[in-house]
Amino acid sequence: MSKLFACIISGAEKADLAAIAGDFSAKIEIIEGGVLFDVSGLENLMGDQTEIAKRIASILKEKNIRGNLGVSANAESAVLFAKNIEGVTTDTGQEIKHLFIEALELDADIQNVFSALGLKNIDQLKDIPESDLIARYGQDFRAVIDLIDQKGKRTLIPNIKEQNIEWNFELEHSVKELERLVFIIANGVSEILGETVRRSLSTENITVVFTFEDAQTKTYEIKISFPTVQKNFWRRIIDHRISQDLPEKYIASIRLICHFTKPRSAQFGLYSATRPEPESLHLTVNKIKNLVGEESVGVPVLLDQRLHKPFRLDPHSEPKSVEDPEIKDTKLQIAFSHFKPPIPAFVWIKNRKLMYLKTRYFEGKVKEHGGIWRANSHWWAGFWSTEEWDVEVEDHGVFRLSRKGREWFVSGEYD
């Protein structure tokens, strides 16, 4: 595919110029006085460079932006045209000949020599043999000769950081069945992830937007806890998410938005054991949710309440990935292991104090104990019939002792 570049030189705001360039290209470079952007490949959609230039010029006029536009197969020539020729200029091979030598921005001494020789435009300069110019001004003048011959070595260096990339598809006939959408969405996912890889980026968030026949829309936000560009993984995740909440209307168009993030970094030692990829875990979790229910799988969240199990499951959250964890001084928390079922116990009490604890697994003198507490802070839920103590049994550890009626149990152990 042949290369083609466009350059806009204008006094308008750079953000406005970049927005116009963004309608035609994803590769945009902000330069002094304007923008340079790659329009390669648009010939198949819009026509030759003259038609492309007309499209760009029409948007400039529509936005009421005045400036010069240059279009050429060489990036440096496009910039040269836009900086020195008013209006719209396309490259036919003749435009550069009529430019004044001042457009080449030569050193003042060289410029004065050419003026003294009566050389005014580039066409006259081209009459001088290249070997004579290089012999007189050195190899550095080769860059000027290349520019005159429209062989400039300038490369476009994108310096606008986009936050996302979009893919749009208009359906010829509206559809409702997921099976017919799967192949279309898979194609779109492949395209946006392919472009993401080419930009050396990754993603952990893809948005799917369905537009219906009545112009209303339905949006699906698919977020994961780690960046990845694995196409098969994203296809499965998106298919699963949509299948859980199928739209009831006929779909007229599909839009995919891939939100950029930095790629995941991972480094393993030479003899490190292989570990499952996070993508595999995520797919497995979704399969488990299908079996046991969405609300039965999630990330545990601690509750600041006195409960038998002081946590709840958040089915909408995902474990946070920490690639470069900071080492911080943190307060150690006491862990507690629940015994299922609780262990029946015999307790000796003297003078209203716990003296001795015996179970079928261990027994010993009670060194210290704390309590009485109610087993649950939700007094309205009928849990206050259970009383609890924390007891330290000599040579065995710290346990939670529970009493319900006249029966005693060891319900867990502190680690």
Give the three-state DSSP class for 267: coil
Per the CB < 8 A criterion, the answer to whether 77 and 147 are in contact is yes
Res. 9 pLDDT band, cuts 50 70 90 = very high
Q: HSE (CB half, 13 Å, CA atoms) of 8?
A: 33
Q: Does residue 307 surpass a pLDDT of 70?
A: no
Longest CA span, the chain: 120
Last residue of a domain, one of 123, 148, 173: 148
The domain in which residue 397 lies consists of 336-414
Q: What is the pLDDT of residue 134?
A: 83
Tokens for 374, please give them. Answer: 């109610």
The model's pLDDT over 166-221, given as tens digits with 9 standing for 90+, comes to: 899 988 888 878 788 888 899 999 999 988 888 778 898 999 999 998 889 999 99
Q: What is the pLDDT of residue 41?
A: 85
Nearest to 319 by CA among 298, 302, 290, 295: 298
The model's pLDDT over 229-240, given as tens digits with 9 standing for 90+, comes to: 889 889 888 988
Q: What is the pLDDT of residue 330?
A: 64
The model's pLDDT over 52-91, given as tens digits with 9 standing for 90+, comes to: 999 999 999 999 999 999 999 999 999 999 999 999 999 8
38 within some domain: yes
Last residue of a domain, one of 85, 120, 148: 148
What is the chain's Cα-based Rg?
Answer: 36
Q: What is the pLDDT of residue 315?
A: 73
User: What is the spatial distance between Cα 264 and Cα 197, in angstroms, rounded to a whole number?
Assistant: 12
Per the CB < 8 A criterion, the answer to whether 406 and 329 are in contact is no
Instruction: Tell me the CATH number at 90.
Output: 3.30.70
Order of all β-strands in the sheet with 251-261 = 164-175, 251-261, 202-212, 217-223
Per the CB < 8 A criterion, the answer to whether 408 and 356 are in contact is no
The model's pLDDT over 346-370, given as tens digits with 9 standing for 90+, comes to: 888 888 888 888 888 888 888 888 8
11 within some domain: yes
Same domain, 180 and 106: no
Report pTM.
0.45
Encode 66-90 in three state secondary structure.
Answer: CEEEEEECCHHHHHHHHHHCCCEEE
Same domain, 128 and 169: no
